[in-house]
């Protein structure tokens, strides 16, 4: 379709115990790769979109395994800078009834975290590109990477590339004041902003107390601050110990709400990234706003049924859930 997407961020090795074991029980780890922008890239590639992922990874076999995990699903990896010594790792203990998800980072000192702004040649990377996506995690990793995001945004603007950013506040990586300062510099370049309540509170210190429609409020406030074309948001609510409700919204001049899904969850990670991929796919394919929010919401819903960070579903599967009167029984 002539569209080409770039995403930029860190690829982490995710290590998680199987069978809901605790860290102090496990003697083996399930190993997959993931990371916000990589997840979005894989999701887009599974939707048939031409997408290339930018990061830095060590040249050693553990880094290569990361590259392979992306190639496997068709993501172009030729823009990945190779070098450095370590790969970022995160340990994941899965939520089990009242026991919450636990994440332990082992990513300080990774090749990406130590990479320099100048290692990313945006002029070359953006050749033929029509869409640039990243999240607030990338500038949070280091000041150099904040600079890299800004440099990328400027180059993108110069070339008329659409820029989308998922604010994705991570309090373990930076504090609100720093986040506010950096993101305030970045957001003027962003066309499409994905932001949930926590992001808005964490980064821009918005106060949603007492708001009846907090997602709308967040969108309105952010659109006052920055020239976003729209603000999108996805949120899940625990409706019982076994069930969550998922819904999302795109705010342009008004709020477009998706329908709601009641889900049980196989994997809690990457649902926001899958939502971003759904949005980008919808916009690239000129879906109207209501159709876009349904598609993105269904993509995010299906992500909750896929183990690992990556959303391994097809456009057909998303469309069927978003728009068809689905029967969940076996087809045979």
Report 51-80 residues binding a second copy (CB under 8 A): 60-62, 64-65, 68-69, 71-74
Of residues 225 through 284, those in contact with a second copy by CB under 8 A are 238, 240-243, 261-266, 268-269
Query: Which pair of tokens denotes residue 85?
Result: 């010594």
Burial class (CB in 10 A: 0-12, 13-18, 19+), 249: buried
Is 150 buried (19+), middle (13-18) or exposed (0-12) by CB count in 10 A?
middle
Interface with a second copy by CB under 8 A: which range of 88-96, 222-230, 251-259, 288-296?
A: 88-96
87 part of the interface to a second copy, by CB under 8 A: yes
**Region from 92-100, 116-124, 209-217, 283-291 binding a second copy, contact rule CB under 8 A:** 92-100
CA–CA gap between residue 310 and residue 271 (Å, rounded): 9
Strands (E), 141-205: 162-166, 192-194
Strand pairing class (230-240; 56-57): unpaired
| Cβ nearer to a second copy, comparing 47 with 126 | 47
Q: Which stretch binds a second copy (CB under 8 A): 16-24, 125-133, 154-162, 221-229?
A: 16-24
Contact 89, 12 (CB under 8 A): yes
Q: Identify the residue among 212, 253, 288, 329 touching a second copy (CB under 8 A).
A: 329
By beta-carbon proximity to a second copy, the closer residue of 22 and 229 is 22
Q: Which of residues 141-180 bind a second copy (CB under 8 A)?
A: 170, 172
Cα-only R_g, the chain? 19
Q: Which stretch binds a second copy (CB under 8 A): 93-101, 126-134, 147-155, 289-297?
A: 93-101
User: Within positions 274 to 313, which residues make up the interface with a second copy, using CB under 8 A?
Assistant: 301-302, 304-308, 312-313
Distance CA 199, CA 236 (A): 14
Q: If binding means CB under 8 A, how many residues of this protein chain bind a second copy?
A: 81
**3-class state of residue 250 by DSSP:** strand
Q: How far is the CB of 240 from a second copy (least distance, A)?
A: 7
Distances from the Cα of 8 to the Cαs of 122, 153, 189, 266, in angstroms? 11, 11, 15, 27
43 is written with which tokens?
Answer: 């999701």
Using the rule CB under 8 A, is 86 a contact of a second copy?
yes
The residue from 48, 85, 118, 188 that contacts a second copy (CB under 8 A) is: 85
Among 25, 123, 205, 290, interactor with a second copy by CB under 8 A = 25
Which of 48, 83, 101, 181 touches a second copy (CB under 8 A)?
A: 101
What is the C-alpha to C-alpha distance for residues 10 and 36, in angstroms, rounded to an integer? 8
Q: Minimum distance between the CB of residue 266 and a second copy, rounded to whole angstroms?
A: 5
Min CB(187)–a second copy separation in Å: 22
Burial group, residue 42, by CB count within 10 angstroms (0-12, 13-18, 19+): buried
Q: Is 29 in the site for a second copy (CB under 8 A)?
A: yes
């Amino acid at each position: 379709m002539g569209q080409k997407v770039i995403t930029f961020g860190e690829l982490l090795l995710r290590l998680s115990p199987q069978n809901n074991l605790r860290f102090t029980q496990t003697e083996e780890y399930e190993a997959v790769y993931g990371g916000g922008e990589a997840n979005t890239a894989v999701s887009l590639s599974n939707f048939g979109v031409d997408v290339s992922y930018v990061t830095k990874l060590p040249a050693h076999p553990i880094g290569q395994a990361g590259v392979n995990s992306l190639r496997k699903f068709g993501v172009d990896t030729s823009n990945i800078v190779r070098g450095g010594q370590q790969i970022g790792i995160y340990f994941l203990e899965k939520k089990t009834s009242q026991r919450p998800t636990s994440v332990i980072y082992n990513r300080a000192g990774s090749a990406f975290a130590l990479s320099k702004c100048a290692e990313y040649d945006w002029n070359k990377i953006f050749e033929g590109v029509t869409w640039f996506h990243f999240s607030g995690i990338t500038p949070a990793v280091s000041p150099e990477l904040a600079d890299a995001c800004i440099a990328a945004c400027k180059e993108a603007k110069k070339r008329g590339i659409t820029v989308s950013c998922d604010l994705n506040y991570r309090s373990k990586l930076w504090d609100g004041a720093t986040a506010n300062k950096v993101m305030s510099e970045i957001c003027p370049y962003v066309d499409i902003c994905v932001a949930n309540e926590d992001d808005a509170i964490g980064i821009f210190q918005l106060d949603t107390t007492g708001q009846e429609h907090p997602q709308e409020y967040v969108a309105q406030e952010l659109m006052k601050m920055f020239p976003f074309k729209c603000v999108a948001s996805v949120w899940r609510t625990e409706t019982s110990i076994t069930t969550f409700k998922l819904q999302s919204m795109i705010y342009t001049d008004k709020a477009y709400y998706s329908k709601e899904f009641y889900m049980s969850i196989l994997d809690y990670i990457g649902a926001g990234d899958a939502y971003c991929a759904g949005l980008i796919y919808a916009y690239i394919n000129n879906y109207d706003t209501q159709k876009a929010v349904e598609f993105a919401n269904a993509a995010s819903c299906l992500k909750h049924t896929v183990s690992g960070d990556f959303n391994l579903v097809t456009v057909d599967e998303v469309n069927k859930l978003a728009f068809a009167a689905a029967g969940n029984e076996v087809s045979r």
